A and B are shown apart, each in its own frame.
Chain A
Amino acid sequence: MSLMQEMGQRALDLGVPMSVHFDVTYRCNERCVHCYLDHDDHGEMTTAEIKRVLEELADAGTFFLTFSGGEVLMRRDFFELLEYARRLMFNVRIKTNAVMIGAAEARRMMELGVDQLQVSIYSHRPEVHDAITKLPGSLRRSVEAIRFLTGQGLRVVIANVLMKANVGDSAGVQALARDLGVAYTLDPTITPKMDGDRSILNLRIPGAELSEVFHNESLVGNVEEFCAPPPVPAEDAMEEYPCSAGHTLAYISPYGDVFPCVQFPLPSGNVRRQKFIDIWRHSSELNEVRSIQARDLPVCSGCSHVGTCTRCPGLAYMEGNMRGPSTADCEKSFHRTGIPSANMLRQGLSSPSAPAGPLIQIQSAVAWI
């Protein structure tokens, strides 16, 4: 167990929210076709409110703080918030499209000790990238920004969200990442819109192409190991928790709403009305999430993939039951190993149904929390 894993285990044992994903705005200068957000401002927290929440997070023991959005730089006070967060000694990571980052912004981020930036790049081809973002010139500007950032010595990760429109461009984006000297992560997570509209799920890549991705050595490393059939679950597999959501991770929206994770829209409280630590400790929703072990999953507990599945409880929740299967993860397990999940067998499926598409998160080089 690495030192980081040890501390993660300690945070779990102590009930400390070690990581917080904080969306400071949903406004954005891009209009990505797959985005799940409503970009209007419905009453974002003020500078003072966010500073107070940051203080509460520091008091609660949060160490890893991810600022995201929307586009974080749409907030005029973003650098004031960033400076305040660093003053409170958070390890700060930023998710951004980087379009608004020039030399001065990159230098300031370096001076403030930002740990990493994750920049969304959809294709190495401007006509594909800009068609996804709906912002002409966005690829050129994002790549320029990455050069400013790396020129300051900052660590950058390119996040390559994969969907039908760019499924063939992952190798090109990987090559671009190599050229820029930054890490690359493939992230084809397409989720329903916040208003429940599931139409964007049609953008997900089809299963056959996902299978190709899982068998691509340059993306997954050792294919034989990655695609191996699931081993017999360990004795304690039934006592495992699904993921860190609600255990050591929380998500806060620009309006102060607290959720177990950015991908788990279970309203658990609001920091405008309650202290964060009170929500974290006493929210009945978070406590319910924490109570769920693998043994409590009616379908998944009997699945051969239970010990290795990346089942996302948030996606299961969005399908209607946080204790149920996450179809997208069933499909991942199937396309990775060729072995149907218990959920698929239950439904009489030997292969997953379209259009419910796969979700994968493969990462190389740099860990991103």
Chain B
Amino acid sequence: MTEKRNAKYIAKSRAIASRMLGGEMMIMSAVDSTFFTLNPVASVIWQAADGRTQLSEIVEQQVCSEFEIDMETAQRDVERFVEELSAHGILLVSDCPFPESSISPTEAA
């Protein structure tokens, strides 16, 4: 696959625990025990954060199609979501695909 300009990839940190509960994702950071919950839209993005799929593809294929949100709005909201989670260190962001060793054990499996 040819990488697009300004491509962005997201991957879950290895230092987290997560589980779906009633349609929302619970996440706890192993670094500082901060606890997060994600709404159903954010949960879909989280589950798709495999370190190999471009963020724009996730937005287009997982968010816009499943939740009937226009691309521009979705892209803006997702960027904000990614920024927030990466600031807490539970989501990793890169402009190229992640090597297997740096992403969460589940994704590497």
Contact = CB atoms under 8 A, between A and B. Distances in A.
B19 A87 contact: no
A326 B25 CA distance: 37
A10 B22 contact: yes
Interface residues of B, number: 21
A244 to B, nearest CB: 15
Interface in A58-101: 58, 61-63, 83, 86-92
Contacts of A13: 22
Given A86-B105, A113-B16, A63 B21 contact: yes
A13 B21 CA distance: 11
Interface string B66-104: 000000000000000000000000000000000000001
Contacts of B35: 3-4, 7
A18 interface: yes
Interface of A: prevailing SS: mixed
Interface in A117-147: none
Given A3-B35, A4-B35, A86-B105, A114 B30 contact: yes
Contact of B106 (A16, A63, A87, A91): A87
Contacts of B26: 7, 63
A3 B19 CA distance: 15
A61 B20 contact: yes
Interface string A6-27: 1100110110101000000000
B17 A62 contact: no
Given A4-B35, A63-B26, A114-B30, A11 B106 contact: no
A77 to B, nearest CB: 17
Given A7-B26, A113-B30, A115-B28, A89 B18 contact: yes
Given A3-B35, A113-B15, A89 B106 contact: yes
Q: Considering the complex of A and B, which 6 residue pairs feature the smallest CB-CB distances, nearest first?
A: A91-B17, A113-B30, A87-B105, A63-B19, A113-B15, A89-B18
14 contacts: A6-B37, A7-B21, A16-B21, A16-B22, A63-B19, A63-B21, A86-B17, A89-B18, A89-B105, A90-B19, A91-B17, A91-B30, A113-B14, A116-B33
